[in-house]
Amino acid sequence: MTPAKRPGRRLLAAADALVNRLYGSSLNPLYQSGTIVVALLLVLLATGIWLVFFYRIGAPWASVGRITADPWIGRWMRGLHRYASDAAIVATLVHAARIIVQRRTWGPHLLAWVSGLVLLGLLLLCGVTGFVLVWDTFGRALAVEGARILDALPVLSEPVSRTFVGERPVPGTFFFLTLFIHIAVPLGMGAALWLHISRLARPAVLPPRRLTWTVVALLLVAALAAPLGMDAEGTAFALPPRITLDWFYGGWLPLTSPLPRGAVWLAGLAGTVLLLLVPRWTRPAPGARPPSVVDEAICVGCWQCAWDCPYDAITMLPRASGRAEVVARVDPERCVSCGICAGSCAPMGVGPPGRTGRDQLARVRDFLADPGRRPGELVAIACESGAGALAPVLEREGAVVYPVDCAGNLHTSVVELLVRGGAGGVLVLTCHARDCRNREGPRWLADRIYAGREAELEDRVDRRRVAVVPAGAHDDGTATTAVRRFREGIAALDRPAADVSVEVDQQCERPPAARRGARR
């Protein structure tokens, strides 16, 4: 089963396509779920700093009541704080679901996956302590149930639960400790976030400004239109008939309350273990995606693969002898076998085994040598993770589909050979820029074809016969329109003469020293 045909991937692609139609791919919040969490954390930080000035440990419920009663800056600030925290959970879950479906949890992704789980746990802890600080019926219910679960641990001399039975008022130290956790946990989240993105080159931390402000504005409108109220103060001597439950942070309450404490711990541990095992289930078969290798005899030390690698897995080391001062070296511990380097290496000296530029050329030669090929055909190069699923649509439109592992891996020589081999035009259907499984594939490919990025498409190739269009697995309309327009565009051109035997240029055009630092 190709990646695009997996049920989870199809569902995700359908959702992406729907949201793309509404907001465009650059503002698709599903693509930006991870960065939206960071933006929301910043909102939480700003509103939280404001709120903490008015919070009183000695009178928690009353002080939050005073904040809520202030219509000018208290009520909506608290509402924004609350709704931003809820939205952060939604965005985190969407982000995690995407990562699982796209199978980006194994190998070098493992650190990001585990630190992501830690971040989720810290976010939940931070949120729960925030609700406890209010000390209304819901906050008290969270504290009581949390204490009941905690008391199952045989390490505490006196059960925490007895703090809340009503023998004496809940001590101020409890609220101090809770506030301390609520404030200190975000510091830990900062460290975990740094770990989370530490293996990425050029990590995108924040969403586009327009999307950020749209999200903040929506939450602000929600805070104004649906202001938060105050439930009754939590007390040990009354059973509240109902509580105002926040399902994002208190959704576990109805689940755990009827269960014995041991069962809750078992369920929690089982859930954690299952999440930790996700990378094991999503990893490819052993040897299926081997890390990139460098052919040192070919490497000219141009640095381009090191610059393009989305995971900083390639370093340039001094070379003892040879053509260049340095030679590329792949760190297999960091390489996810994305193959971006295969597309960025003009002399085709680096890439995952079987997917290097030379392997790609051999494959395209076989493709062109197929007796079924007709001159002037429109060849649609489609990413297997995305538009590859649109093969029937593309073929119905008369295009010949040429599937590739990732359009970002595509060596421009493949495009050149197709055009010079008699194809009427080459339409490259990439994933959307923010949806690339390999992070920066579409960006680098477009730069190589249109902006002269190293390993560029040679000037001798007629650009009118080449087009790059982003299209996901469910973008039928986009793909159909792209094929039709492209065909109209190339119809007026003279039919090229097929020349399969042509040799493509495989050399860097300028000495590396002149380019260093100019193409990042």
If the CB atoms of residues 81 and 437 are measured against another protein, the closer one turns out to be 81
Q: Enter the DSSP assignment of 163.
A: G
Residue 353's alpha-carbon distances to 98, 297, 330, 464, in angstroms, are: 27, 16, 13, 32
CA angle at 193 for the pair 331 and 125, rounded to the nearest 5°: 140
CB of 226 to another protein, least distance (A): 5
Question: 53 vs 237, which CB is nearer to another protein?
Answer: 237
Between CA 414 and CA 361 the distance in angstroms is 6
Please identify, using beta-carbon distances, which residue of 87 and 314 lies nearer to another protein.
87
Rounding to the nearest 10 degrees, give the CA dihedral for residues 85, 89, 92, 94.
-130
- Two tokens at 390? 């649109």
Tokens of 244: 């105002």
Shortest reach from residue 237's CB to another protein, in Å: 3
Q: Please state the closest distance from residue 97 (CB atom) to another protein, in A.
A: 15
What is the rounded distance in angstroms from the CA atom of residue 341 to the CA atom of residue 351? 6
Q: Which two tokens stand for residue 315?
A: 């370093």
Question: Which residues make up the interface to another protein (CB under 8 A)?
Answer: 19, 21-23, 82-83, 86-87, 90, 141, 157-159, 161-162, 165-169, 214, 218-219, 221-222, 226, 228, 235-248, 253-254, 257
Q: Which is nearer to another protein, 169 or 517 (CB)?
A: 169
CB of 240 to another protein, least distance (A): 6
Q: Which is nearer to another protein, 30 or 426 (CB)?
A: 30
Min dist. Cβ of residue 241 to another protein (A): 5
Angle, helices 172-196 vs 33-52, to 10°: value is 150
In this complex, which beta carbon is closest to another protein, that of residue 7 or of residue 242? 242
The DSSP call for residue 106 is S
Residue 161 or 315 having the CB closest to another protein: 161
Smallest separation (angstroms) from another protein to the CB of 428: 26
Cβ-contact 151, 160 below 8 angstroms: yes
Could you give the CA distance from residue 13 to residue 473 in angstroms, rounded to a whole number?
A: 6
> 466 with 426: CB under 8 angstroms?
yes
Minimum CB separation of residue 275 from another protein in Å reads: 22
Q: How far is the CB of 24 from another protein (least distance, A)?
A: 9
Q: How far is the CB of 95 from another protein (least distance, A)?
A: 15
Alpha carbon distance 304, 294 (integer Å): 13
Buried/exposed code over 19-28 (b: 16+ C-beta within 10 A; e: otherwise)? bbeebebbbb
Q: Please give the C-alpha separations between residue 23 and each of 90, 359, 372, in angstroms, as whole numbers.
A: 19, 38, 41
Nearer to another protein, 249 or 444 (CB): 249
Q: Which residues contact 366 (CB under 8 A, 6 or more apart)?
A: none
Q: Which is nearer to another protein, 168 or 209 (CB)?
A: 168
Which residue lies nearer to another protein by CB, 166 or 398? Answer: 166
Angstrom CA distances, 12 to 99, 245, 364, 411, 472, stand at 11, 29, 31, 28, 10
For the bound state, the minimum distance from the C-beta of residue 249 to another protein, rounded and expressed in Å, comes to 9
